[in-house]
Amino acid sequence: MSEQPLASQGRRYVFLALKIAVSIILLTYLFSKFDMADVWNKARHASAAWLLISLGLYTLNVLVGTWRWHLLLEAQHVKIPKGRLLGSFVVAAFFNNFMPSNIGGDVVRIADTAGPAKSTTLAAMIVFMDRVLGLMGLVLVAALGASLATAGASPVPPLWLWGVLALGAALGTPAILAPDRFAKLLSPLTLLHREWVTARLQTLENTLAKFRDAFGAILTTFGGAVVVQGMMVVFYLAVARALGIAIGLWDLALIVPITFVVQMVPVSLGGFGVREATFSLYFKRLGLGGEAAIALSLIAQVVQMFFSLSGAAVYVSRGHKQTPP
DSSP class per residue in 10-72: HHHHHHHHHHHHHHHHHHHHHHHHS-HHHHHHHHHT--HHHHHHHHHHHHHHHHHHHHHHHHH
Segments of the chain with pLDDT less than 50: 1, 323-325
Angstrom distance (rounded) from CA 199 to CA 192: 13
Q: Is residue 142 part of a domain?
A: yes
Whether 291 contacts 48, CB under 8 Å: no
Closest alpha carbon to 111 in 126, 94, 129? 126
What residues contact 47, with CB distance under 8 A and at least 6 apart? 241, 242, 243, 244
Angstrom distance (rounded) from CA 212 to CA 175: 9
Whether 231 contacts 59, CB under 8 Å: no
Output the CA torsion sign for 8, 9, 14, 16.
positive
Give the total residue count for the chain: 325
pLDDT of 103 reads: 58
pLDDT of 100 reads: 63
One-letter amino acid at 199 equals: A
pLDDT of 5 reads: 60
H helix or E strand, kind and range, residue 317: helix 290-317
pLDDT of 6 reads: 59
Strand ranges inside the chain, DSSP E: none
One-letter amino acid at 163 equals: G
pLDDT of 101 reads: 59
One-letter amino acid at 127 equals: V
What residues contact 58, with CB distance under 8 A and at least 6 apart? 235, 303, 304, 307
Closest alpha carbon to 137 in 225, 253, 260, 196? 225
Closest alpha carbon to 34 in 250, 296, 301, 306? 296
Q: Is residue 324 part of a domain?
A: no
Angstrom distance (rounded) from CA 32 to CA 167: 41
Whether 233 contacts 141, CB under 8 Å: yes
Q: Is residue 58 part of a domain?
A: yes
End-to-end CA distance of the chain: 20
Q: Is residue 325 part of a domain?
A: no
Q: Is residue 13 part of a domain?
A: yes
Number of domains in the chain: 1
Angstrom distance (rounded) from CA 269 to CA 12: 13
Residue 197 structural domain: 3-317
One-letter amino acid at 86 equals: L
Q: In Å, how far are 105, 109, 135 from 90, measured between CA atoms?
A: 9, 10, 20
pLDDT of 323 reads: 47
Q: Is residue 51 part of a domain?
A: yes
Q: Is residue 323 part of a domain?
A: no
Q: Is residue 60 part of a domain?
A: yes
